[in-house]
Structure 1
């Protein structure tokens, strides 16, 4: 597997993955132009993508997604490791990530990767075009986590 920064416009395959993690296309389109995109590929095919943003001097893992057939094989952990490395080399001491209150597997993944709970942003997802439900829970709040670099 190859993990590297991607320096081209996001193609349809990568956009489809990004929208699996964040179904708000307008939001994804808004942060992509000023972000660093990191891709995971296997045998020439994209199998995962992560997006690193720098807003007001704060590094954030804004989006991460892995193709269904490759989940549970360490792809997300490797992407997160690369994002942390890029953020650290850019001079950041902390990397933030936000996920929905209903995203139980993502909360577990981030904590396994060294993130700790930091704070909650209430009602972030309340006005999404379509209500989001995961694990039988309505996603309304964003749980923010931070990993020291």
Structure 2
């Protein structure tokens, strides 16, 4: 597997991580995409966005369903951390729905810590309810990591 920048992120993976076309349209053109390639195919990707001074956010990260739980997500997160650090960012953020317990656990295993909750984020900003793991996804759980120089 090789992780490298790409100007053509997988639309399918963007929608897997974010069901809102309007949300994707808002950040996709302003973000930098890095993708995990195997045999010329994208098997995972993340989008990194400069949000505030010294701060970047992983605004979309996804792995192809048939390739999940094989370490690709962890590799993408580690790559994003190194990419943000090399770019001079001091803080890296990520957010996910409160019903995404697997995603939250992955982010915490990679060193992110919970720092807040955007209450009713998905009810306010998404056109239809999102059901995940049999539960309505309502709140955005925010996590962050301080990037110390290495």
TM class, shorter-chain normalised?
Answer: over 0.9
Question: Per the alignment, in what secondary structure is the counterpart of residue 125 of structure 1?
Answer: helix
Aligned partner of 2:112 in structure 1 is 115
Cα distance in 2 between the residues matched to 1:85 and 1:42: 21
Instruction: Give the aligned length.
Output: 145
Runs of 4+ in structure 1 over 4 Å off: none
Shift of residue 73 of structure 1?
Answer: 0.6
Aligned partner of 1:3 in structure 2 is 3
Shift of residue 44 of structure 1?
Answer: 0.8
Gaps of 5+ in 2: none
Aligned partner of 1:52 in structure 2 is 48
Structure 2 length as normaliser, TM-score? 0.93
CA displacement, residues 62-118 of structure 1 (integer Å, 9 cap, x when unaligned): 110001111111101111111111111111112100000111100011011111111
What is the aligned counterpart of 1:106 among 87, 91, 103?
A: 103
**Alignment of structure 1 residues 74-85 onto 2, 5 Å:** 74-85=71-82
Structure 1 length as normaliser, TM-score? 0.93
What is the aligned counterpart of 2:33 among 20, 37, 40?
A: 37
Shift of residue 33 of structure 1?
Answer: 1.0
Shift of residue 136 of structure 1?
Answer: 2.1
Aligned partner of 1:26 in structure 2 is 22
Shift of residue 15 of structure 1?
Answer: 0.9
Aligned CA RMSD, in angstroms, stands at 1.0
Shift of residue 130 of structure 1?
Answer: 1.5
Shift of residue 34 of structure 1?
Answer: 1.2
Cα distance in 1 between the residues matched to 2:36 and 2:109: 19
Aligned partner of 2:90 in structure 1 is 93
Cα distance in 2 between the residues matched to 1:5 and 1:148: 23
